[in-house]
Structure 1
Amino acid sequence: MSCPVCGSSAVVTFDRRLRVPVHQNKLCRSRAEALHTPTGRLEMTGCRTCGFVWNDAFDPDLLVYDDTYENDQTCSPAFRGHFDGRAARVAEALGDLDGARVVEVGCGQGDFLARIADLGGDAIVGATGFDPAWRGDDGDGPGGTRIFRSYYEPATAALAGGPPDAIVARHTIEHVPDPVGFLKTLRAAAGAGTPARIFLETPCVAWIVANDQIQDFFYEHCSIFTASSLARALREAGFGPARATHVFDGQYLWAEGGFGEDDPSGPEIPDFDRWADEKRRYVDRWRAVIAAAEAEGPVYLWGGGSKGVTFTLLIDPDGAHLSGAVDINPKKQGGYLPVTGLPILAPEALPERGATVIVMNPAYRGEIEAQAKALGRSARFIPLVEQATRAEDGPEEGPEEGTA
């Protein structure tokens, strides 16, 4: 066993889970469908040389990305601000070019690509997206974009109308078991002699490990990077110079390659050796928190996406103690969390008072409490990250919390 990025054999498998959904963002419209969601195994393995992490038990044949896959986060004002900022960054970074052609890989329903085209104005002469989960007709797309229900590779590159000046891939590379090979395919599709620039966004494994975010490992995310290992992968694929920085409160990495200067920083190696003990303490602690809260009223998660699905499997796998998950994405509302079958509710469905709400992502805490207050819901809010990073093994003193 060796690292897929640097080839080192100095690796360690630090987390094993026998039953996780292969798609945590699949729309399950009945509880029966949710309970019978296909599952796979996690064997999260880390490289002690470059910091890259991957699922050594990953089987890509289990995954099917189609129109039942729903991971849109732009219903959140906080995420929308981040989304707009990243689109503006791409448009700005192409400002020195005379008529740029942009390709987005894994573009979903084209919202980000359309935003780049809008911000770039006449400077963007072509905006083409590729995604097998595209729900429209081939060649259609929002805001003057063109989207195709296929992968971007040399065989489909001509659909972009010519070599791209920029390739964008947000939250895509973590789904690929051979990330360097994936990047090399993009480089080949762009044309070996073209000066293509690349922009990537992906979760940061250093943030996950440092903050003991046990619920942030998912089956779909088979390749997770540190900043230095992501920049290294871009250089290995021929996109150097390359560099990566932290965005979205440190949760994500934003990498750029093919222009500018290289990042000279050395490798960042997460502390894999403490993970097993932290995972045990995390599960015990949160079960105790929920048991105490349940004695006072119903307990909900706020967030019916990846974090909520995995947290529920770790803490309440039978769905016996949590009352459901709240999500502001209307496409998720009325559905059920994969495997546990917990219902996904609109914020309006929360009880007017007496509920405890565990906030899955701290970046959304402010807007969640404001929305609950605007709806006349008085609840006790517990943010996941503060509780996860507490030094205590138990909930005796109680986590930092708020009410609305």
Structure 2
Amino acid sequence: MTARTCPACGAAAPEPFHVGEPVPVNSCLLLGDRAAAVDFPKGDLELALCPVCGLIWNCRYDPALTTYSQDYEETQGFSPTFQAFIHDLATDWVERYALTGGTVVEIGCGKGEFLVEMARAGIGAGIGVDPGVQPARITDDVPVTWIQGLFPQDLPELDADAIICRHTLEHIAPVRDFLESIRSAVTDVERTVLLFEVPDVQRVLDEVAFWDVYYEHSSYFSAGSVGRLFRAAGFDVLSITRAYSDQTLLVEARPTAGGAAVALPIEEDPAALAEAAARFARGHRTMVEHWRDRIRTVTARGGRTVIWGGGSKGVAFLAALGADAALVDGVVDINPFKQNQYMAGTGHRVLAPKDLTDAEPALVIVMNGAYRTEIVTELTDLGLAPTVEAL
């Protein structure tokens, strides 16, 4: 299937600025069989940029190919860096929006760690909805109801002081329809605030971060495109800020109460984003070849290369390497639920950090630079001193 019009504003789709190789249609599923991992279904990547609103989307995305269930292991909650971030973010949102004792709904709550942090910060009640939530893994005694399902099918009304949606909107193809469904489901427009977090595509384009382009992300947002989208769907945008080493955008909004819709200073125009997209397209092959050559050099010298990060970035990185992915000797992840599972597409087995004492890698490539410091500390504690390079 091909999306011929922009999912955010309905403008005619331009020619894609980036056509990638087919990639696994799910990158966080737990796969216990290597053969199944190697033969995992793939989908097409064709990124288009709307010249009117600036949304970037995969115009070959087919939602029927993706699967979200309890086998979808997306959490970063085992990282101390990530835990500190969500603690600070939850505390900030509770304080600034007076949510102490209030009710919060999280759409796409994942494994629930952020809603738990909101409870620790003082909310009175929470509802988390996600097909992959696993209440048995949540050890805190918190006032939260967990719904293993989807919005709006399994939660048609949003009666809450705040609606949180973190790292979910980019998985939605009809993004404007989705936001409008939230607007329609809000029971008290005077009371409710929306608190969203999405990856920032501006960084992806500027850094030619090909490892941040994968099938589940059907939509890619910049500060400008996400601001225009929220206003078009009936929301006043209160704030858009960058967070988490400038990898993400925090969007705070309320249902429209009237008045002029004014763009925020952080919002770029579509023409500026188009220039960044063109640079990404020109630099993509060079960036992929850089990492291929880096790994080949280590192999030629008799050394071993491992990547650290067994999630979506790791799957995308290995897929882009093509045949050279076989030169990567292992994939490491601190999430115990990922360990001894296999990566979709290449079949690499996911190792625990302690397994590196036998592998003794010469090069560790960190899939997310936000975790570089904690990874270096863990390697040092294991008595290892490889070269560590972050994407």
TM more than 0.5: yes
Equivalent in 346, 351, 371 of residue 364 of structure 1: 371
- Tell me what 1:402 maps to: none
- Letter aligned with residue 83 of structure 2: R
Q: Secondary structure at the match of 1:182?
A: helix
The gaps in structure 2 that reach 5 residues or longer are: none
- Tell me what 2:234 maps to: 238
Matched, 1:105 2:107: yes
CA deviations on 1:253-305 (whole Å, 9 max, x unpaired) are 11000189965335343222222321111122211111101123111101111
Q: What pairs with 1:34-73 in structure 2 (closer than 5 Å)?
A: 34-73=37-76
- Letter aligned with residue 365 of structure 1: R
- Tell me what 1:379 maps to: 386
CA deviations on 1:356-381 (whole Å, 9 max, x unpaired) are 11111111111111110011112111
Q: Secondary structure at the match of 1:287?
A: helix
CA contact (8 A) 2:305 2:328 kept: yes
Q: What pairs with 1:183-194 in structure 2 (closer than 5 Å)?
A: 183-191=179-187, 193-194=189-190
- Tell me what 2:24 maps to: 21
- Tell me what 1:298 maps to: 304
- Letter aligned with residue 213 of structure 1: A
CA contact (8 A) 1:45 1:55 kept: yes
- Tell me what 1:285 maps to: 290
CA deviations on 1:219-265 (whole Å, 9 max, x unpaired) are 00001100121122112222213431110111111100018996533
- Letter aligned with residue 376 of structure 1: G
Q: Secondary structure at the match of 1:228?
A: helix
- Letter aligned with residue 166 of structure 1: A
| Separation in 2, partners of 1:368, 1:156 | 39
Q: What pairs with 1:323-402 in structure 2 (closer than 5 Å)?
A: 323-351=329-357, 353-384=360-391
The gaps in structure 1 that reach 5 residues or longer are: 385-404
CA contact (8 A) 1:328 1:346 kept: yes
| Separation in 1, partners of 2:108, 2:27 | 17
**C-alpha deviation, 1:134, in angstroms:** 2.1
- Tell me what 2:254 maps to: 258
- Tell me what 2:217 maps to: 221
Matched, 1:267 2:268: yes
Moved more, 259-268 or 140-149: 259-268
- Tell me what 2:315 maps to: 309
Normalising by structure 2, we get a TM-score of 0.90
- Letter aligned with residue 194 of structure 2: I
Q: Cα 1:328–1:155, aligned 2, differ >3 Å: closer, same or farther?
A: closer
Task: Number of aligned residue pairs: give it.
Answer: 375
Runs of 4+ in structure 1 deviating by more than 6 angstroms, as ranges, are none
- Letter aligned with residue 274 of structure 1: R
Moved more, 360-369 or 168-177: 360-369
- Letter aligned with residue 132 of structure 1: P
- Tell me what 2:194 maps to: 198
Normalising by structure 1, we get a TM-score of 0.87
| Separation in 2, partners of 1:17, 1:250 | 25
**C-alpha deviation, 1:13, in angstroms:** 0.8
- Tell me what 1:398 maps to: none
| Separation in 2, partners of 1:64, 1:119 | 32
Equivalent in 115, 118, 123 of residue 116 of structure 1: 118
- Letter aligned with residue 111 of structure 1: E
CA contact (8 A) 2:100 2:124 kept: no
- Letter aligned with residue 375 of structure 1: L
**C-alpha deviation, 1:335, in angstroms:** 1.1
CA contact (8 A) 2:163 2:194 kept: yes
Q: Cα 1:262–1:197, aligned 2, differ >3 Å: closer, same or farther?
A: farther
Percent identity, please.
35
CA deviations on 1:17-50 (whole Å, 9 max, x unpaired) are 2421111001111211211212111111112333
CA contact (8 A) 1:242 1:256 kept: yes
| Separation in 2, partners of 1:267, 1:306 | 27
- Tell me what 2:145 maps to: 146
| Separation in 1, partners of 2:361, 2:76 | 28
**C-alpha deviation, 1:193, in angstroms:** 4.4
| Separation in 2, partners of 1:21, 1:141 | 34
User: What is the CA RMSD across the aligned residues, in angstroms?
Assistant: 2.3
